[in-house]
Amino acid sequence: MGDEQRNLDRRTVTVIGAGSFGSALASVAAANGHSVTLVARRQDVVDEINTAHRNERYLPGVNLDPHLVATTGHDAVWDSDLVLLAVPSHAMRETCRRIHTSLTPRAVVVHATKGLETGSRLRMSDVIFQELPELERRRLAILTGPSHAEEVSRGMPTTLVVASLSRGAAEYVQDALMNRALRLYTNPDVIGSELGGALKNIIALGCGISDGLLFGDNARAAIMTRGLVEIARLGVRLGAAYSTFSGLTGVGDLIVTCTSRHSRNWNTGYLLGKGVSLQEALDRVGMAVEGIRTTQVALELATQVQAPMPIASAIGDILFHGKSPGDAVGDLMGRTRTHEMEEYVQDSTASWEYE
């Protein structure tokens, strides 16, 4: 892609997934002057977007760009320059199967899903490559970083990361979406960027549980700090660059997800800390909570690569084994003493595989 002249003019963009983030990104792309189609599952959502320029279920009170067009047809990706996948992790494989025959060879595909696939334990990029075997590796990018859709859709200042093996693909997405309110940085570390965005949801669940138990700021700071250690520990053993986790898709995303009431994962944890059952908490939140599945997959991966994750393990005991939040915290705090610098991670850096 490095040989191609980047076209900064109007592009044809298809966004699949009309949840909060997909709708926000589609509106941003339309406001940037591109021809944008948003693919939704439900006809009532399509009708509301096309007639009222709103998506009240996922972005209440937000006016979407009036040039945005919605449809239920996945064949909208035909002849698209940029295809953005903003679906939950459990829907990624089926979504790729639906667009497989319509995707053109020139399209750049970017996903904005912060999760891991259960069963296979795969990152979303691996799922995409399995289901879209004709897609060149240099034409896939990942969009991640600290971002609440509610704020993106209202034009509040936000920074994101576009990660890709290809500098050209990363900069293509950067040029398409960046504006005065949304700033995008590029990064060649696909593994670290995906894992940072997924694993921070586990720690956000933990912070929500802590806040629900009224443990205060000290406990939240401890969970976030030591949680970042666990994220980096697992990430590096899975091939990520350690330095990635000190950036927007590591520390940045961790801060925004662990401290805001916009966060679905924090809200779910908060309800669990208040004694609400997991199913009731999920019903109250009403949207996909990626941290639940991610906790299960991360603990399986941690066992596989022998990466201790005591905070994630404690959260897993609450989610999957019926342990009370109070007992889980007691067991976590009562572990054998250790040093904060109990391990040194050999730093590694990522570089562009394609220009």
Alpha carbon distances (Å) from 36 to 20, 23, 113, 141, 219: 16, 11, 19, 18, 44
**Strand runs labelled E in the chain:** 12-16, 35-39, 69-71, 82-85, 108-111, 140-144, 158-164, 182-187
| Distance of alpha carbon 62 from alpha carbon 60, whole angstroms | 6
Instruction: Find the catalytic residue in 114, 200, 274, 323.
Output: 200
Residue position matching structure tokens 């990626």? 290
CA distances in angstroms from 355 to 173, 205, 325, 351, listed in the order given: 14, 38, 48, 10
Catalytic, 200? Answer yes
Residues 6+ apart with CB under 8 A from 12: 34, 35, 79, 80, 81, 82
CA-atom Rg of the chain in angstroms: 20
What span, in angstroms and rounded, lies between the C-alpha atoms of 110 and 350? 19
Enumerate residues 6+ apart whose C-beta is below 8 A from 51. Answer: none
Beta bridge partners of 59: 55
Catalytic site positions: 200
